[in-house]
């Protein structure tokens, strides 16, 4: 017989308790199946109680018995517990548990005691999350913004779940794209000096390139000026702009010209534009609340000989062969659809080679898991990277690649076009200025990352109840507002509230809100396991809804002191969980709005 007025001990966990009870019942009913996993879920429907177990259904086949019959046996063998008000068998054989009021409201004390640590796990793995890693060839755009928001939230989530998380940005400072940016800037610089070299259509077109040219002009004057004839002397092909191959060859010719004519000056321009773009991107991300522990340079992999070492290692293990003068990695032996070049016939390593080295380096740093957040357009790249790791004798399952799908911006119902090269795209900075950091971070989290995102600018901007981020923040501000109604001496201390008698919390909505709070630690576990920070955004909407519903149904500041204190405790606990959850997503918690 359940005793409903018994107070559960501090740190009481109903799920753990019920799991233990079922485990004991199981050993009595089916001693040979003691290893069956005990699953407890929170039913969607309130009439199904606080927790439901499908244990009887799981056993039906093995015991060759009707699930409902097994359920009855299990319930009969269930040890008595002070936290259970009712046990019911329902549906196909579910066992539904209804908790006592005291067991339901106990979470309030747990939240107030744990504070900012409520929900924190103790997972303890050493993880790395690498994200954004955009080429520093121009401003970050809204697609990078999604990767940034997702990666940052994921990293915070994993850290909150108890992992040790390193956040890293891989800087592609060694490739052809950087050369193209440097040559684009140089050509704009030459334009300032009336040297007429036609600007290539496949160069970087954005205004920021002209800005950097002006900076170089200011600092260095005309020392990098060369006549148009000299610049064009090593540019092959015709001016046919329809032939892509021809255009790329001409661009490469311009790069060669720049390196030859400028010598040290090329290194200066290259270094300047790299530093400029990196600094800009870093500032942009910092303002967005996205921080990195490390900025890993691709070039450093060459400088330290890591790339050569990785390729030599593959060669030693017999996974390379030479064809048409190039060195190929036999990735088809590891599930890839074709073999891949790691070193070109001119001796230059491919990007893939440095990426093998990079991932080898990551693995050598001793992470239990390496998580790469990539744009969805890179998905075809996964088999070859994993293949290379396997070929090197590493455990490729330690690498998880999460793909983030594309973002389309909609303004006035119209899709905004995006093209990096042409410079016609909305930057992350523009987006943040227009809709604000909080709405950005939250909107990016309103989709699973493997779902294409249509970002509705007008909705994100609207200061109305259409906007979910305001709905959640409003709940927080409302609680703060209630507390500010009290004189400082009328508000009991946190420790006092944590000890307050919660028996006055009898309303259905109060219990629903408590159940939502109790869900938070489980949410963290599941979301961290699934790399799914979006579920935190959905939880916040539910939590805010439960709070608003309660708030409209009952007053917090009532005359009766016992009731008032219990409700204050619940309001404070709600605010705490809102804070914990919003912090993980990098969204602020305004006191008023």
**Which residues within the stretch 362-381 sit at the binding site for RNA (CB under 7 A)?**
376-381
Q: Is 450 in the site for RNA (CB under 7 A)?
A: yes
Q: Is 464 in the site for RNA (CB under 7 A)?
A: yes
Nearer to RNA, 148 or 181 (CB): 181
Least separation, in Å, of the C-beta of 465 and RNA?
2
Q: Is 68 in the site for RNA (CB under 7 A)?
A: no
Query: CA 556 to CA 558: how far, in whole Å?
Result: 6
Of 192, 256, 278, 480, which lies in the binding site for RNA, with binding defined by CB under 7 A? 480
Query: CA 116 to CA 581: how far, in whole Å?
Result: 10
Question: Binding segment for RNA among 7-15, 101-109, 225-233, 450-458 (CB under 7 A)?
Answer: 450-458
**8 A C-beta contact, residue 398 and residue 368:** yes
Q: Is 414 in the site for RNA (CB under 7 A)?
A: no
Closest CA to 106 of 496, 540, 498, 562: 498
Of 35, 242, 337, 559, which lies in the binding site for RNA, with binding defined by CB under 7 A? 337
Q: What is the dihedral angle through the alpha carbons of 501, 503, 508, 513, rounded to the nearest 10 degrees? A: 20
Instruction: Pull the structure tokens for residue 27.
Output: 């050993």
Nearer to RNA, 52 or 213 (CB): 52
Question: Whats the size of the chain, residue-wise?
Answer: 593
Binding mask 213-252 for RNA (x = CB under 7 A): ----------------------------------------
Q: Is 458 in the site for RNA (CB under 7 A)?
A: no
Of 273, 289, 551, 585, which lies in the binding site for RNA, with binding defined by CB under 7 A? 551
Closest CA to 473 of 445, 448, 438: 438
Nearer to RNA, 164 or 507 (CB): 507
**8 A C-beta contact, residue 492 and residue 500:** yes
Least separation, in Å, of the C-beta of 216 and RNA?
23
Interface residues for RNA in 41-60 (CB under 7 A)?
41, 43-45, 47-49, 52, 54, 57-58, 60
Binding mask 342-361 for RNA (x = CB under 7 A): --xxx-x-xxx---------
Q: Is 491 in the site for RNA (CB under 7 A)?
A: no
Question: Binding segment for RNA among 37-45, 217-225, 303-311, 573-581 (CB under 7 A)?
Answer: 37-45
Q: Is 412 in the site for RNA (CB under 7 A)?
A: no
**8 A C-beta contact, residue 578 and residue 476:** yes
Query: CA 59 to CA 425: how far, in whole Å?
Result: 57
Binding mask 122-151 for RNA (x = CB under 7 A): -------------x----------------
Query: CA 226 to CA 240: how far, in whole Å?
Result: 24
- Strands of 344-381 (E only): list them: 369-375
Nearer to RNA, 226 or 441 (CB): 441
Query: CA 306 to CA 299: how far, in whole Å?
Result: 10
Least separation, in Å, of the C-beta of 169 and RNA?
13
| DSSP-assigned states of every residue in 530-569 | TT-THHHHHHHHHHHHHHHHHHHHS-SS-S-HHHHHHHHH
Burial letters 408-442, b for 16+ CB under 10 A, else e: ebeeeeeeeebebbeeebbbbbebbeebbbbbbbb
Nearer to RNA, 199 or 302 (CB): 302
Least separation, in Å, of the C-beta of 90 and RNA?
4
Q: Is 470 in the site for RNA (CB under 7 A)?
A: yes
Nearer to RNA, 77 or 522 (CB): 522
| DSSP-assigned states of every residue in 82-149 | TTEEEEEEETTTEEEEEE-HHHHHHHHHHHHHHGGGTT------EEEEE-----SSS--BHHHHHHHH
Of 293, 466, 560, 561, which lies in the binding site for RNA, with binding defined by CB under 7 A? 466
Q: Is 64 in the site for RNA (CB under 7 A)?
A: no
Question: Binding segment for RNA among 20-28, 190-198, 426-434, 449-457 (CB under 7 A)?
Answer: 449-457
Least separation, in Å, of the C-beta of 380 and RNA?
3
Q: Is 485 in the site for RNA (CB under 7 A)?
A: yes
Q: Is 23 in the site for RNA (CB under 7 A)?
A: no
Strands 51-53, 94-99: pairing kind:
antiparallel
Nearer to RNA, 190 or 273 (CB): 273
Of 35, 242, 264, 324, which lies in the binding site for RNA, with binding defined by CB under 7 A? 324
Least separation, in Å, of the C-beta of 140 and RNA?
14
Cα angle 275-281-284, degrees, rounded to a multiple of 5: 140
Least separation, in Å, of the C-beta of 417 and RNA?
12
Of 24, 241, 419, 481, which lies in the binding site for RNA, with binding defined by CB under 7 A? 481
For residue 355, report the phi and psi dihedrals to the nearest 5 degrees.
Answer: -70, -30
Question: Binding segment for RNA among 160-168, 219-227, 265-273, 534-542 (CB under 7 A)?
Answer: 534-542
Nearer to RNA, 105 or 297 (CB): 297
Say if residue 7 is exposed, middle or buried (CB neighbours under 10 Å; 0-12, 13-18, 19+).
Answer: middle
Q: Is 302 in the site for RNA (CB under 7 A)?
A: no
Strands 340-343, 326-329: pairing kind:
antiparallel
Nearer to RNA, 161 or 190 (CB): 161
Q: Is 592 in the site for RNA (CB under 7 A)?
A: yes
Of 63, 82, 91, 416, which lies in the binding site for RNA, with binding defined by CB under 7 A? 91
Per DSSP, 419 falls in state B
Q: Is 153 in the site for RNA (CB under 7 A)?
A: no
Q: Is 311 in the site for RNA (CB under 7 A)?
A: no
Q: Is 508 in the site for RNA (CB under 7 A)?
A: no
**8 A C-beta contact, residue 461 and residue 579:** no
Query: CA 154 to CA 524: how far, in whole Å?
Result: 11
Query: CA 382 to CA 362: how far, in whole Å?
Result: 16
Query: CA 99 to CA 104: how far, in whole Å?
Result: 6
């Amino acid at each position: 017989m359940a005793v409903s007025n018994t107070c559960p001990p501090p740190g009481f966990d109903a799920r753990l308790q019920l799991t233990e009870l079922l485990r004991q019942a199981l050993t009595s009913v089916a001693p040979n199946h003691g290893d069956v996993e005990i699953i407890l879920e929170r039913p969607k429907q309130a009439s199904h109680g606080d927790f439901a177990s499908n244990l009887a259904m799981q056993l039906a086949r093995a015991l060759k018995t009707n699930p409902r019959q097994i359920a009855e046996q299990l319930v009969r063998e269930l040890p008595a517990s002070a936290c259970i008000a009712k046990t019911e068998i329902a549906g196909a054989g579910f066992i539904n548990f209804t908790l006592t009021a005291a067991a339901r409201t106990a979470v309030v004390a747990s939240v107030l005691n744990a504070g900012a640590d409520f929900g924190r796990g103790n997972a303890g793995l050493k993880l790395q999350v690498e994200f954004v890693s955009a080429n520093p060839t121009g401003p970050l755009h809204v697609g990078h913004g999604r990767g940034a928001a997702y990666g940052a939230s994921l990293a915070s989530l994993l850290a909150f779940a108890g992992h040790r998380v390193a956040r890293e940005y891989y800087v592609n400072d060694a490739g052809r794209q950087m050369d193209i940016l440097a040559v684009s800037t140089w050509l704009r610089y030459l334009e300032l000096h009336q040297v007429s070299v036609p600007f290539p259509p496949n160069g970087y077109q954005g205004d920021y390139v002209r800005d950097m040219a002006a900076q170089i002009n200011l600092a260095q004057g005309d020392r990098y000026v060369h006549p148009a004839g000299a610049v064009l002397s090593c540019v092959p092909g015709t001016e046919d702009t329809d032939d892509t191959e021809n255009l790329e060859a001409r661009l490469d010719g311009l790069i060669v010209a720049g390196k030859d004519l400028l010598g040290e000056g090329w290194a200066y321009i290259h270094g300047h534009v790299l530093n400029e773009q990196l600094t800009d991107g870093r500032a942009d991300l910092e303002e967005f609340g996205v921080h990195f522990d490390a900025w890993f340079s691709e070039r450093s992999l060459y400088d330290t000989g890591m790339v050569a070492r990785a390729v030599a290692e593959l060669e030693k293990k017999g996974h390379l062969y030479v064809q048409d003068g190039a060195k190929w990695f036999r990735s088809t032996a590891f599930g890839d659809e074709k073999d891949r070049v790691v070193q070109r016939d001119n001796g230059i390593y491919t990007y893939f080679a440095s990426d093998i080295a990079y991932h080898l380096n990551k693995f050598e740093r001793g992470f239990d898991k390496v998580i790469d957040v990539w744009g969805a357009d890179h998905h075809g790249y996964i088999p070859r990277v994993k293949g290379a790791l396997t070929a090197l004798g590493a455990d490729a399952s330690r690498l998880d690649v999460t793909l983030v799908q594309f973002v389309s911006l909609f303004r006035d119902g119209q899709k905004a076009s995006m093209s990096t090269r042409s410079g016609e795209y909305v930057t992350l900075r523009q987006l943040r200025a227009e809709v604000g950091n909080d709405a950005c971070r939250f909107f990016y989290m309103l989709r699973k990352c493997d779902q294409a995102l249509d970002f509705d600018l007008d909705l994100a901007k609207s200061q109305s109840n259409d906007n979910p981020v305001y709905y959640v923040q409003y709940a927080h501000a409302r609680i703060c507002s209630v507390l500010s109604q009290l004189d400082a001496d009328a508000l009991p201390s946190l420790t006092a509230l944590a000890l307050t008698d919660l028996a006055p919390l009898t309303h259905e909505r109060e219990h629903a809100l408590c159940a939502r709070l109790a869900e938070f630690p489980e949410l963290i576990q599941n979301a961290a396991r699934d790399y799914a920070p979006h579920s935190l955004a959905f939880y916040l909407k539910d939590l805010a809804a439960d709070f608003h519903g309660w708030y409209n149904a009952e007053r917090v500041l009532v005359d009766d002191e016992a009731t008032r204190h219990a409700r204050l405790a619940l309001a404070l606990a709600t605010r705490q969980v809102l804070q914990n959850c919003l912090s993980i997503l990098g969204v602020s918690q305004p006191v008023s709005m």
